[in-house]
Amino acid sequence: MTTTTVEHFADSPQIQRRDWKIITLIGAAHSCSHFFQLVFPTLFIALNTEFGFSYSQLGLLVAIFFVASGIGQASSGFIVDRIGPTPVLRFGLASFVVAGVLIGLANGYAMLVLAALIGGFGNSVFHPVDYSILNHRVSARRLGHAFSTHGFTGNLGWALTPLFMSALIYLANWRVAAIGAGVLVAIVLVFVWRGRELLAGKNVEQTVVGQAHKEGSLASKSVGQTLATLARQPALWGAFFFFALTSVSLSAVQNYSIPMLGDVYDIDAVLAGTALSAYMLASALGMIAGGFLVSANPRTELTIAGSLVLAGVLLVVLASGLVTPWMAMVVVAIGGFCAGVSTPSRDMLIRKITPKGATGTVYGLVYSGMDVGASLAPLAFGIMLDLGFVKGPWIGGAAAFVIAAAAALVIGRSTAARSG
């Protein structure tokens, strides 16, 4: 991929303000995506009490959400590259609003399935949209911080969900909490609508680069031609596999840490939920730290591999059951920090292997791997817990982290060989 040399373009306070307005707006929208991914898991106990659903049935709802997201994400990138990202972003946020209302009004499993489908299709658009806007609208000199802020706000969304939902459940009930989630997203949708002109178009750097390389851009090609070109790049499919693996690990932590902390360490649900929020907050801080490592270490795959192996080791420590309950909560948080450090380097690695004119398409395809992992893992781990394997999700998550680290090294080596 041809990159822009930042020294060739002037910077100014006006450009800096524009960049950070875009980064902030996209970060707010991205936090909604992560926030809504945990709406169903935070309602597991309430739905079990209300309807008597098993962990397998509840895990299937999450699986349906991510199957829909994966299908939509793989295809939404093509739409983003052809009609622009801003209308697609508004569609995603509106879908969450509808899904939240449906969950709150649900009278049985079928209505929850419908909400999962609508929410999943809404969730599918965010990575192709966000990275298309960031790569095209933010100055190259601030892309590392844009990627780290993007990941940071996503994790803030994850961290907010247990607190927001638990508070509304305590003050009212689970139905009010679900509708409240939709209202929260609706507020962000209003800001995105008002900032639509800020998010549209390309910055000066991208315009110059686009004019110089317009003929080689995949955006002007058909869907079939674009797929044929991408299919000949093994690094992209390695990235797809990488995202699937990291999503398996994240699913183990997000969906089942609360019951596992209870079963293994006898930690009550409130403290376990606090530990999960601590994981998300620590991961967000890790992303900020990782943003500085992007520029400090051009071998981004080494940063990714080291941080993910450490995160995997910490999950094994948790599964061992040898630490005290309070130390287990600390280990959960440290594991989140390690996983978070890898995120900006991961996004920069994907940028390096993205052909011109295919930003939305590539991010849509590789991030759909995340949806594949997120759709399969909750059901598999839910079955493990139903069968009595109370430590299974942590062990599976650790293995997935280590294999993902190896995949990042292979992708980095492949990219370096192609550049050389």
Q: What is the pLDDT of residues 47-64, one digit of tens each?
A: 988 998 887 888 889 889
pLDDT digits (tens, 9 = 90+) for 225-263: 555 555 556 677 788 888 899 999 988 888 888 888 988
Residue 173 banded pLDDT, cuts 50, 70, 90:
very high
pLDDT of residue 395: 93
Residue 180's CB is within 10 A of a number of other CB atoms, namely 19
Question: Quick check: 184 pLDDT over 80?
Answer: yes
Residue 211 banded pLDDT, cuts 50, 70, 90:
very low
pLDDT of residue 195: 86
Residue 315 banded pLDDT, cuts 50, 70, 90:
very high
Q: How far apart are CA 128 and CA 72, in angstroms?
A: 11
**Domain ranges for the chain:** 13-199+218-419
Q: What angle separates helix 269-296 from helix 234-265, to the nearest 10 degrees?
A: 150
Share of the chain above pLDDT 90, in %: 32
Q: How far apart are CA 227 and CA 229, in angstroms?
A: 5
pLDDT of residue 6: 40
Residue 317 banded pLDDT, cuts 50, 70, 90:
very high
Average pLDDT, the chain: 82
Handedness of CA 155, 157, 158, 160 (dihedral sign): positive
Radius of gyration of the chain (CA): 21
Question: Quick check: 313 pLDDT over 80?
Answer: yes
Q: Are 323 and 267 in contact (CB under 8 A)?
A: no
pLDDT digits (tens, 9 = 90+) for 94-104: 999 999 999 99
Question: Quick check: 4 pLDDT over 50?
Answer: no
pLDDT of residue 234: 66
Kindly state the average pLDDT of the residues 178-191. 96
What six digits make up the tokens of 202?
A: 């390309």
Q: What angle separates helix 325-352 from helix 392-419, to the nearest 10 degrees?
A: 30
pLDDT of residue 223: 52
pLDDT of residue 418: 60
| Cβ contacts of 125 within 8 Å, gap of 6 or more | 72, 73, 76, 80, 88, 89, 91, 92
Q: Which residue has the higher pLDDT, 416 or 2?
A: 416
CATH homologous superfamily of 13-199+218-419: MFS general substrate transporter like domains (1.20.1250.20)
pLDDT of residue 201: 58
pLDDT digits (tens, 9 = 90+) for 253-266: 888 888 889 888 99
| Cβ contacts of 239 within 8 Å, gap of 6 or more | 349, 350, 353, 366, 369, 411
pLDDT of residue 115: 96
Question: Quick check: 208 pLDDT over 50?
Answer: no
pLDDT digits (tens, 9 = 90+) for 379-418: 888 888 888 888 889 999 999 999 999 999 988 887 666 6
Question: Quick check: 321 pLDDT over 60?
Answer: yes
